[in-house]
Amino acid sequence: MSRFVLITPSSEFEQKLRLAVAGGLQGHVKSLPASTLSGGSDAVLDQLALERPEVLVFGPGIAMEDALRLAVIVDVKFPEISVVLVHEDHPDLALQAMRAGVRDILSPLSDIASIRAQLERACQAFATRQRSDSQSPREQQSGLVIGVFSPKGGVGKTTIATNLAVGLGKIAPMSVVLVDLDLQFGDVGMSLYLNPEYSVLDAVSSAATQDSMVLKAFLTAHPSGIYALCAPRNPADADRISSEQITRLIQQLALEFRYVVVDTGPGLTEPSLAALEQCTDAVWVTGMDVPSVRGLRTGLDVLHQLNLMPETRHVVLNFADTRTGLSVQDIEATLAAPVDVSIPRSRGITLATNRGVPLLQDKVRDPATKSLNDLVQRFDHAWRSKSQRKLHRRVVVR
């Protein structure tokens, strides 16, 4: 049995791929000659049934039409296998490949390190799909939708959302998507150091709403093993996105991903309220100052009156500092709710934000790292299933 199966007439690329695997990945490479395709799909399918690989690579020198035709069949017969297409960039290639079931596209000029990284992501996707297959039908039906909210701006909401998504990506690689619903001035792209080609505006188009494969083509992959759907570049485009479209978008993503993390704009805007209605969990963020605490209390009161509160909520105290003149008890008394996670004021978070690399993406030793991991843990199914865990418990600010 081989972990990787490669079909290509290019001995040069085969050598690079073998070096990439030998340089840090476990498993063997099974190389099939390009002539295997001339015998029809049965010959390749027989080899896949024998080898049971995690990744199938169509290398350079294979006609794109032949590769995509076979990818469709592989996606039906062996849906757990990650199919990678090696091909020069083409305007329509990404959409065609996604429709055919191709998981990733790799440039034939990629160096060994890039090939290794791509193969590692493909293996992670294989592992995630296998875990999903072992879950109950109810778990497969829809993932968790986690909204990050705050009535006030400037409380670090996007920083928390990006770190939460990256942390969840370690639990479920390639099965997390982060959506930026601060449609006018969203910073998710900047916070992840991304320059996305597509945005939420593309993802709510009629083509995307009718075909989840088209929707996935508009997502941007991040090196941490998550996907991002960023806000439109032009703030005026926010007016072209309706609440109904946002509702449909989140519902689609929840059927495709284990975790959907939604970063919202400040205040209780229409996009935020539309997202809130779809959330299984709401993360409420407040700073350790009177205006943001009172603003959150007012917002929670309004949502209670509208009956829009998700079943599970998590209150996060950001920029926690004992020198502010407020205590956790003061904040909890004002909110009439317990604080679940306290994230200390951290120079490391500021530096990570400015670099566009979330704190949880790198293994940085920082006081805030543990708190962010505590927040991530609250959405781990294994942790949530333990009845002895208390969902809300008193935090300590140091």
Which backbone phi and psi does 285 adopt, to 5 degrees? -110, 135
Which positions of the chain have pLDDT values less than 50? 136-140, 387-389
Entry pTM: 0.66
From residue 186, give the alpha-carbon distance in Å to each of 157, 161, 233, 238: 11, 12, 9, 11
Question: What's the token pair of residue 89?
Answer: 């960039």
294: number of Cβ within 10 Å = 15
**What pLDDT does residue 1 have?**
74
- Using one digit for the tens of pLDDT, what is the confidence trace for 163-209? 999 999 988 888 899 999 999 999 999 999 998 889 999 999 888 88
In order of their start, the domains of the chain are: 2-134 (3.40.50.2300), 144-392 (3.40.50.300)
Strands (E), the chain: 4-7, 29-32, 55-58, 82-86, 104-106, 144-149, 176-181, 220-222, 226-229, 259-264, 281-286, 312-320, 341-344
157-171 and 367-377 helices, crossing angle to 10°: 60
Q: How big is the chain by its Cα radius of gyration, in Å?
A: 23
| CA distance linking residue 345 with residue 397, whole number of Å | 10
**What pLDDT does residue 381 have?**
79
**What pLDDT does residue 267 have?**
84
**What pLDDT does residue 141 have?**
55
First to last CA, the chain: 53
Residue among 104, 169, 142, 99 at smallest CA distance from 253: 142
| CA distance linking residue 360 with residue 268, whole number of Å | 28
- Using one digit for the tens of pLDDT, what is the confidence trace for 231-256? 999 999 999 999 999 999 999 999 98
| CA distance linking residue 245 with residue 240, whole number of Å | 10
**Cβ–Cβ < 8 Å for 42, 49:** no
